[in-house]
Structure 1
Amino acid sequence: MDENALYARPCIRSAPGAFNLDQQRPDAVFDLGESVAQVKPPYFVDHLLPKLRFGLSVKAILDTLTHPFPGETSAAINDDRWSAFRLDPAHDARWEPIVFRQLDEITEVIHRATGLPDDVRTVIFRSSCAHTLSTSERDNSSRPNGFASQRDVSLKDTHWHHIAVAGEYKKRSEDASDNRLKLIWSLSRTMRDDVRRRFAFGYTIEDRMMRLWFCNRSEVIVSLPFDFIRERFMFVHFILSITYAEEADLGWDPTIVRHHNPYTKTFFYDITVHPHNKPPVTYRTKQVLANVGAEAPLGRGTRVWRARRLENGQEVGQPVAVKDGWVDSDRDREGHVHEQIRASAPEGSEAAKHFDEYLLHVECYGDVLIDGVKDQTDALHRRGAALSTEYGRLSLLIPRREGSGSKEESERILCCPAKTHHRTVFKEVGTPLHNEKSLSVVFKALRNLVYVLQSLHTCRWVHRDISSGNILLVNGRLKLTDVEYAKHEDNETVHGVRTGTPNFMSTEVDSQTYHHIPSGPSNDTAKASDPVQAAQMDRFAVMRRSATDSDESNTESIGELPVLSPASTRRQKPVVSFTYNPLHDLESVWWLALWTLIARNYLRTNEDKDQAAFAARMADQATLSKHLFYKPTNRLQVMTANRFFTNYVNALRLLLKVKWAAVKLDACRDVLKTAFASADAKISDIAFATVVPRALYDQMFDTFDLVHRGMKKYNGEVYIARNVFALGKRDRNELEAGNDRNALSAIELALPASPPASPSTSEGEERPRKLRKLNETSAPGAGPNGSNA
């Protein structure tokens, strides 16, 4: 079975869609699929909560609580309810934080009933003294309504990394949706901010009904509600399990030790790596290199640090990059994939040289071990128990007004595979491409990336996750990283999650369908020699006509350009299993080049003397970025309609240098589109090593090289100020629903009469030599006469 046979599979973000944290907050529910699995409370107790401390009995403690403690006149339980809650919260007129602060009293008497000393408690349940905050008011310093935090940390000094369990309270059951939303934000915040957090617990209470929550990098699970006032056995079991649990059982990672630098008021960490069949190695972090992968609660949760190896408490050796994350348990580890890729290139071949020069070198790698056991989301966190579907899923969406929203949105479900905690240490330390401010340097890296990918493809590999974060610059030189999703042509393993970063993902991969099958005359479908091809041709003829019939019209207003109807772009189960191929890697590179060009704000130079005009051009450029990268229908038309992208570029007031480069990219897109049409015409017989014409690699190399050199001729260099304001998922959904109808300005701007002159060798840079073409003897799978075409 082909890997992509599953249809409409979710895509786990390898990087967030928005770089601004405030914009990511509304995305928390979206990141969880907008619904979570429900289980019975006994399942939650048996398979998710920490085991009870040896010697504790819930029944015995409940019996103790029905009698007064020595010297006291009243018991904690009276009239079949907690004495602290003589009134149900919904009927208590007092301020909400005061009402639920009574839970602190109950947790204290439960501890007293155990007879254990205070210092055996790992955490203490507390209520926040602050006013209950609405979701929109949450900021980086706010706390949940209630929480269980480390015993030796005072309330005023409690931060998110001290909190083991987050809780949210509401007096009214009608406020359940808002309560869940706040709890999801708290869980997401815990998983994001606490480097040591492997999983997290939570609870919500509306009136007297309580739910328990669990979150790791694969799933969020919630219990069915129970009455914490009457069903005291479940409540007491929860309090006891959490209070006396080991830190590892509460989700903290014992293989990471946190240190605080009092001078810089920052944290650094000692991280232990467990290489297979080798002694563990500890590294001390010096600087965070990347952590955007940890923004979403589900997924890889990747963080990368600059670090140095520790020996006898002393830092030794050269700086390295330590990568910590969660990989699909059934996937090869990244270090092993590096070994396989290098082994696929014949010794001494051009491909082998490319891999040595442009891929990172691995120092060591291994799965994280917790008390000698692999840290896995199913086998360890859920203790190997199957997740029951008997009780369905709990919606996290706040109910909409009648007539709004859609059925598809309310039924969206996200399922993540089981994951294993893993670490890889690389010998080189680099910075991601999106941090580079020089447009010339960026396109130089993209230029070299083309031939690195050619080597991969010729050796029958595809990368499958090209993004601005997966391309590093090490001392100014390109390094392609994040190859854990790279796949060899012979690998037929099936996974249920699409890979890639949405902004850069190929449109075919995004929809899991082939878009470029030649339609030809209407009777071609019946005459097609390949029945699979005939079925696909018939299906996509209507989609393609919808995108191309109006190519030549409406060039005066971007807002009126043709758009595909929802019916034509709705994801359907493909007639044939969709297969990722090397062309999809190259399309991702093209989208990355376009994103680099237009999703940026530029520094004003001497040629941009009119500040108002410059600001207007930047505004048009930001709008173009929004319409191209956050509307899937527009992305599809860019790659399928002949003049759709051209019309956009011609109708906007762009900087001369940006418009010039965009025209060059458009020409490159035409060649890419032709290659797709040729490949999709034979979708049942695509070979990785030959599907990409040699001319396409050359065209992309030459285009990126021309832009690289050209940008150096505009007043010496073109520098990027910052990334353009990025949209959150809520904004993207509004755009896709058609709720943003602001037409873009349509101002024709003449292109430069000729591209910038190539710099001479005397100006400091020799014309870059193309990487040598791969031939039959240097790389397997090459076509006749050494060609890949």
Structure 2
Amino acid sequence: MHAIEPKVFKNLEEIIQVLNRVDRERLGERPVRFQYFDCPYSNLKGETPGATFKVDAYLGPKSLSSSGSTSLETSKMAVIAEYKKNKSSNNIEENRSQLVSAASYLMNDDPRRMWMYGITIEDDEMSLWYFSRSHSVKSEPFDFTTDIGTFARVFITFLLATPTEMGFDPTVERVTYKDKIQYIYTIKNAKGQARRFLTLNPIHNPRSLCITGRKTRVWRVTELPKRLPKDLDTVEGRGDYALKDVWLNEGSPTEHDNLQEVFRKLEGFEDYPEWPAEPLSQLFRSALQNKQYKNYFMEIEYDGRGFSTKGVPDDATTDPSVLASDVRPMTESEKDKHIVKGSSQSTPAPSFTTDPQSHQSPRGSGGPPRKFEVKRQYRLIYKEVGTALHSSPDFSSTISGLRDALLAVVLLALVNWVHRDISAQNIILVEQEAGHVVGKLSDLEFAKEYSESPEGGHDPKTGSPYFMPFELHNGHLLYPQPSGTAYDPRNPFSAPTRKPSGTTRTQGPPFYRYEYDLESLYWILVWLVLRIKHAPSNRLLFEIFRFGDQPSRLRRQVFVNMEDTQIYDAMDPVIKTGFEDPIHIIHGQLLRSYNPQTIPYEHTASVVYMAIDKLVVATQTSLKNVKIAFADMPQPSGEPSMQAGMKRPRPAPNDDNGPPSGVNVDKPSDEDSDVDEAQVKKIRPEAEELAINRGRNPAHYDHRVNRRVGN
């Protein structure tokens, strides 16, 4: 192809529009709902920072009107496309990276997105893509200039698809409420009863650096009446709640399921342990006898499951080499330029700009291969609205909230459960009567009963590297347990000996142990202390707390070496006197508990409690009138940062290729007939999650596009 690239692919628009006029009998009974638009020059706007990319074309809802607009809202894109007229390896790599990062942005930006589709063309080869929270699939390419039948079937499938089949969730409606873009969630419980909730503002909505995963969103919401007034601004909501929207593995227990099981076991608990710390013993006796243990966990008012992603095709194979990227950071001015007017999601949480939950536990350490399990929506309503510990500006409240979370963690351990996902995001600070703030633990969907079996003990789940226990993050035990029985020092030859077999055993990842939940609390404490506005603290903070498959060199050094003083040297002098010794004691106790000569859990829990309690006392006495402020938490070095999209150079024409002004997918209807997420510095996590559909005939693949959602 020798013509200018946009002009070459502009012809596709005319060809695809012909499909709209094909005889009704050939299209079937379905109306044409979507339309193809060429848009290589259009600037994009979304609700969250990152829409600095451009796409070559998209499919959006059908409309008869058009305009020369040069701006396009990303909410109007159902299928996105990237084109290159030459099939060089660099063009293929760039095309794929641009498509995947654009899809990542769209999936993060729009709460209605369950999955979506994409198209790439290099010269005469076309490939189809599917993106979801469980997996991504790329078809093998086909020659669309000669295989006209497959080309026609693909686009007819898209043109006739319903919004739900395109990936728009029919239970989430995009609306305007008091000049802001908001969403109405309809949640149906197990009994088939439905309730509707209107979002008011996001509580937790970080960018996920991977398309796959939980993609947790938390909103402050109010419940809507069954009948809505014509003017939504006049609606009177009922109650103030927090709504959590998350994707879980199909068939896995939900947070409500796990919490009820824990409560059931605590209700029948009679084996009151005698803890070395008497105050701790008194707290637990009172909590267990009066059923006050529920006060340490977020109370769930209502919940329900939703749609499921599609399963991985049987003939799909993983191919980590599909993607690669090298892109630049996005500037602040670029962020603001690409925010749609009225967005209620444009301001990120103050402590995290990306989702640390989207990172996986270390690979290559003997764990089981990833299964790409089908994921299903799960939504719940918390009865109380609070502030995540990582977003609280009050130092004293964060420390007392940490103490409350410790009590919740130990209550779990009493009935042989572990949380496995402790972070500064799921400790919620709730203000009660007279301004008293308490900490409550949430996000129990990954909690489970403690197990040392190979099937149940290993922990290949996703989690936050910021607060991940060192051994789990590292993939190896600090003190490997030798096999066989211990030798009797009085007669070491009395026990039978087993000679080496000559074979090599690969040590699997560590079993999740009770102490790991305590260690996560320790890392949160260190993170809080180093976040205080104090230059030496902040410098050390960015070296210890990084996103990555392995702990940073400095994190390893300060944890494994009890003689290392860097954390204490870097502390703000204002808090050093009261905080140095308790933190050192917690650190030492945790390290000792990991030694094969096991220290009883109740000893470690007692030591950690007494140390944190001492910190709480310090914040309420000697530090009561001291103003302590946190430094902003920018992205630490080593974290994949938000990137601006790179596109091939284009002229700046009078844009005749802009989107029709009449297009409206803000409120898609099945009945109506009518990164750059930012590209990340390393797209390797997404590449490892991408399944390429090798050897599959795209003529068969396109039928998947038209399958009923949830199958």
Q: Residue 332 of structure 1 corresponds to which residue in structure 2?
A: 253
Q: Residue 42 of structure 1 corresponds to which residue in structure 2?
A: none
Which residue of 716, 723, 748 corresponds with 2:626? 716
Superposed displacement of residue 530, structure 1: 11
**SS of equivalent residue, structure 1 residue 250:** coil
Which residue of 499, 504, 507 corresponds with 2:467? 504
Which residue of 581, 587, 610 corresponds with 1:699? 610
Larger mean CA deviation between 147-156 and 427-436 belongs to 147-156
Contact 1:436 1:442 in 2 (8 A): yes
What is the distance in 2 between the residues matched to 1:212 and 1:438?
A: 49
Does residue 397 of structure 1 match 2:331? no
Superposed displacement of residue 481, structure 1: 0.6
Q: What letter is aligned with 1:307?
A: V
Q: Residue 174 of structure 2 corresponds to which residue in structure 1?
A: 258
Contact 2:471 2:478 in 1 (8 A): yes
- Post-superposition Cα deviations, 1:617-651, rounded to whole Å, max 9, x if no partner, equal 52x3333112212243432333322223x14543x
Q: Residue 302 of structure 2 corresponds to which residue in structure 1?
A: 364
What is the distance in 1 between the residues matched to 2:139 and 2:30?
A: 30
Superposed displacement of residue 500, structure 1: 2.5
Superposed displacement of residue 724, structure 1: 4.3
Q: Residue 267 of structure 1 corresponds to which residue in structure 2?
A: 181
Q: What letter is aligned with 1:299?
A: G
Q: Residue 235 of structure 1 corresponds to which residue in structure 2?
A: 151
Contact 1:168 1:204 in 2 (8 A): yes
Q: What letter is aligned with 2:112?
A: R
Q: Residue 574 of structure 1 corresponds to which residue in structure 2?
A: 507
**SS of equivalent residue, structure 1 residue 288:** strand
Cα 1:183–1:694 shift into 2, 3 Å:
closer
Which residue of 590, 599, 604 corresponds with 2:522? 590
What is the distance in 2 between the residues matched to 1:316 and 1:100?
A: 49
Contact 1:274 1:280 in 2 (8 A): yes
Contact 2:296 2:440 in 1 (8 A): yes
What is the distance in 2 between the residues matched to 1:118 and 1:331?
A: 38
Superposed displacement of residue 397, structure 1: 1.9
What is the distance in 2 between the residues matched to 1:364 and 1:622?
A: 41
**SS of equivalent residue, structure 1 residue 673:** helix
Q: Residue 3 of structure 2 corresponds to which residue in structure 1?
A: 93
Q: Residue 444 of structure 2 corresponds to which residue in structure 1?
A: 483
Q: Residue 354 of structure 2 corresponds to which residue in structure 1?
A: none
Q: Residue 770 of structure 1 corresponds to which residue in structure 2?
A: none
Q: Residue 216 of structure 1 corresponds to which residue in structure 2?
A: 132
Which residue of 416, 427, 434 corresponds with 1:460? 416
Cα 1:325–1:130 shift into 2, 3 Å:
same
**SS of equivalent residue, structure 1 residue 271:** strand
Contact 2:50 2:105 in 1 (8 A): no
Q: What letter is aligned with 1:478?
A: G
Which residue of 579, 585, 592 corresponds with 1:674? 592
Superposed displacement of residue 692, structure 1: 5.0
Contact 1:711 1:718 in 2 (8 A): no
Structure 2 counterparts to residues 53-68 of structure 1, below 5 A: none
Superposed displacement of residue 99, structure 1: 1.9
Contact 1:306 1:321 in 2 (8 A): yes
Structure 2 counterparts to residues 744-763 of structure 1, below 5 A: none
Q: Residue 146 of structure 1 corresponds to which residue in structure 2?
A: 57
**SS of equivalent residue, structure 1 residue 109:** helix
Which residue of 58, 70, 77 corresponds with 1:163? 77
Q: Residue 204 of structure 1 corresponds to which residue in structure 2?
A: 120
What is the distance in 1 between the residues matched to 2:193 and 2:23?
A: 41
What is the distance in 2 between the residues matched to 1:392 and 1:106?
A: 33
Cα 1:128–1:692 shift into 2, 3 Å:
farther
Structure 2 counterparts to residues 497-646 of structure 1, below 5 A: 497-517=460-480, 573-574=506-507, 578-598=510-530, 600=531, 602=533, 617-618=534-535, 620-630=536-546, 631-644=551-564, 646=565
Long gaps (5+) in structure 1: 1-90, 369-374, 401-406, 540-571, 603-616, 736-789
What is the distance in 1 between the residues matched to 2:85 and 2:552?
A: 42
What is the distance in 1 between the residues matched to 2:76 and 2:498?
A: 58
- Post-superposition Cα deviations, 1:659-685, rounded to whole Å, max 9, x if no partner, equal 4435542232112212222xx335xxx
Does residue 124 of structure 1 match 2:25? no
Long gaps (5+) in structure 2: 229-235, 269-284, 328-362, 432-436, 643-679, 683-711
Q: Residue 425 of structure 2 corresponds to which residue in structure 1?
A: 469
What is the distance in 2 between the residues matched to 1:655 and 1:588?
A: 22
Does residue 445 of structure 1 match 2:378? no
Superposed displacement of residue 710, structure 1: 6.2
Q: Residue 76 of structure 1 corresponds to which residue in structure 2?
A: none
**SS of equivalent residue, structure 2 residue 637:** coil
The aligned length equals: 554
- Post-superposition Cα deviations, 1:457-479, rounded to whole Å, max 9, x if no partner, equal 11221111111110111113211
Cα 1:664–1:229 shift into 2, 3 Å:
same
Larger mean CA deviation between 425-434 and 176-185 belongs to 425-434
Q: What's the Cα RMSD here?
A: 3.9
Q: Residue 191 of structure 1 corresponds to which residue in structure 2?
A: 107
Cα 1:710–1:718 shift into 2, 3 Å:
farther
Superposed displacement of residue 93, structure 1: 3.3
What is the distance in 2 between the residues matched to 1:593 and 1:98?
A: 58
Contact 2:30 2:160 in 1 (8 A): no
Q: Residue 280 of structure 1 corresponds to which residue in structure 2?
A: 194
What is the distance in 2 between the residues matched to 1:185 and 1:731?
A: 12
Q: What letter is aligned with 1:666?
A: H
Cα 1:219–1:455 shift into 2, 3 Å:
same
**SS of equivalent residue, structure 1 residue 212:** strand
Q: Which has the higher contact order (CA 8 A, sep 6+)?
A: 2
Superposed displacement of residue 533, structure 1: 14
Superposed displacement of residue 249, structure 1: 0.4
Q: What letter is aligned with 1:279?
A: Q
What is the distance in 2 between the residues matched to 1:632 and 1:691?
A: 30
Cα 1:622–1:172 shift into 2, 3 Å:
farther
- Post-superposition Cα deviations, 1:10-59, rounded to whole Å, max 9, x if no partner, equal xxxxxxxxxxxxxxxxxxxxxxxxxxxxxxxxxxxxxxxxxxxxxxxxxx
Which structure would you say has the larger Rg?
A: 1
Contact 1:123 1:150 in 2 (8 A): yes
**SS of equivalent residue, structure 1 residue 722:** coil
What is the distance in 1 between the residues matched to 2:608 and 2:631?
A: 30
Does residue 657 of structure 1 match 2:574? yes
Q: Residue 746 of structure 1 corresponds to which residue in structure 2?
A: none
**SS of equivalent residue, structure 1 residue 277:** coil
Superposed displacement of residue 496, structure 1: 7.0
Cα 1:468–1:299 shift into 2, 3 Å:
same
Superposed displacement of residue 202, structure 1: 0.3
Cα 1:496–1:207 shift into 2, 3 Å:
farther
**SS of equivalent residue, structure 2 residue 411:** helix
Contact 2:33 2:62 in 1 (8 A): yes
Contact 2:223 2:237 in 1 (8 A): yes
Superposed displacement of residue 309, structure 1: 2.0
Superposed displacement of residue 267, structure 1: 1.4
Cα 1:223–1:303 shift into 2, 3 Å:
same
Does residue 343 of structure 1 match 2:264? yes
Superposed displacement of residue 573, structure 1: 4.1
What is the distance in 1 between the residues matched to 2:23 and 2:639?
A: 48
Q: What letter is aligned with 1:104?
A: E
Larger mean CA deviation between 493-502 and 716-725 belongs to 493-502
Superposed displacement of residue 418, structure 1: 2.1
Q: TM-score, normalised by structure 1?
A: 0.63
**SS of equivalent residue, structure 1 residue 445:** helix
Percent of aligned positions that are identical: 25
**SS of equivalent residue, structure 1 residue 101:** helix
What is the distance in 1 between the residues matched to 2:522 and 2:618?
A: 13
Q: What letter is aligned with 1:167?
A: A
Contact 1:149 1:158 in 2 (8 A): no
Which residue of 317, 340, 355 corresponds with 2:293? 355
